[in-house]
Structure 1
């Protein structure tokens, strides 16, 4: 792991544990074991470091290429979304294990940090909005593809069903603030989506 990678991972871990408001450049220096000179060699200031952490651990994880999923059926898109949520949970767990040797942070910490980023960063809000719009479009593609393959009924309202599937996914994902076990939440998402999809058959 190179120096920049260490700084990003340890800063993300520190932000998960303490939140934006409670982390200073001195905290980052002490937590990473890097001098201010090294930190400022890679990042102009704390804000630039935070922006890169946000890009890596929120934007890049959530975002996807709509062209890669446009031929998915509802079952394939459901599987794709569940893999994405598993990747988020695994990323948090892996970083915790690498940094601390334990998993002190949870999806609750991740959601808390997510809301802080949403509140502070208009660019991030716009990027996340674009990702949610792509997810809605992904469900529309998937529903149409499943209709074309006679996997679900022909008479469903695609736009309405896409919104309901999106809301179901998003709602259960954000309920993970009440659970320390990301696996349970991800399984709940999958089961709920599959239950809804079966209603469309």
Structure 2
């Protein structure tokens, strides 16, 4: 990406994370980025265009960890879990890299709500990715059931849905719990505990 364009996106992202969409103007983005007016309009026609590219660059990938998992890591459910956590950590590292303040879940979830309100096709994009994510987990769980990695008497759709919602639930909890820092340690613990339950007799 062009360095000037990258600078504009990163600084605008910081503004949108901490402030309301309506309070962020092109002038404020220009001032925060330290570029000329000509430079900002060379890359973007409007604030709406900047916002949409930020959503596509920094937010949308958070809804699609499965699509980033390598084929070799799909050989077992346990490998998928570790690979998914690694992908999330990589995205978290990116967010920390481009933000100029201490990035916490509260700001990220606040930004999601802004995206749903102000970014065209956001909901549709998320729904498409969520369906892919669900089907990906479902396939991995089904394979694990066939190979004996986990029990075969579980509710396949429920378990696939759970693997999708565990990160979301932890994120929402941390977002409203005294601004806890974003991390994947709790996610790893939750995933592996759930995984261990799938191997135990009597859990459905």
TM-score (norm 2): 0.85
Residues 159-189 of structure 1: CA deviation (Å, up to 9, x unaligned): 1221223222321122231343112xx2112
Matches within 5 A, 1:6-155: 6-63=7-64, 65=67, 68=70, 71-96=74-99, 100=100, 103-155=101-153
Confirm or deny: 8 A CA contact 2:68 2:87 kept in the other structure.
Answer: no
Which whole-Å CA distance do the structure 2 matches of 1:53 and 1:117 have between them?
A: 10
CA contact (8 A) 2:69 2:80 kept: no
Pair 8,29 (structure 1): closer, same or farther in 2 beyond 3 Å: same
Runs of 4+ off more than 4 Å: 66-70
Q: Work out the CA distance in 1 between the residues paired with 2:165 and 2:180.
A: 22
Structure-2 residue corresponding to 1:160:
158
Contact (CA 8 Å) 1:9, 1:95: kept in 2 or not? yes
Matches within 5 A, 1:159-198: 159-177=157-175, 178=177, 179-183=179-183, 186-198=184-196
User: Bigger shift: 141-150 or 66-75?
Assistant: 66-75
**Higher helix residue share:** 1
TM-score by length of structure 1 reads 0.86
Q: Secondary structure at the match of 1:182?
A: coil
1:75-120 alpha-carbon deviations (Å, 9 max, x no partner): 1221122123212321221113xxx4xx334221111011110122
Q: Is the 8 A contact 1:118 1:125 kept in 2?
A: yes
Task: Classify 1:66/1:53 alpha carbon distance in 2 versus 1 (closer, same or farther; 3 Å).
Answer: closer
> What is the distance in 2 between the residues matched to 1:20 and 1:94?
22
- Residues 116 and 123, structure 2, Cα contact 8 Å, conserved in 1: yes
Count of residue pairs brought into register by the alignment:
194
Paired with 1:132 and 1:174, the residues of 2 have a C-alpha distance of: 17
Report the Cα offset of residue 44 of structure 1.
0.9
Structure 1: any 5+ residue segments left out of the alignment? none
Tell me, yes or no, if the aligned pair for 2:16 and 2:24 is still in contact at 8 Å: yes
Structure 2: state its 5+ residue gaps.
200-204
* Closer, same or farther: CA 91–72 of 1 in aligned 2, 3 Å: same
SS at match of 1:34: coil
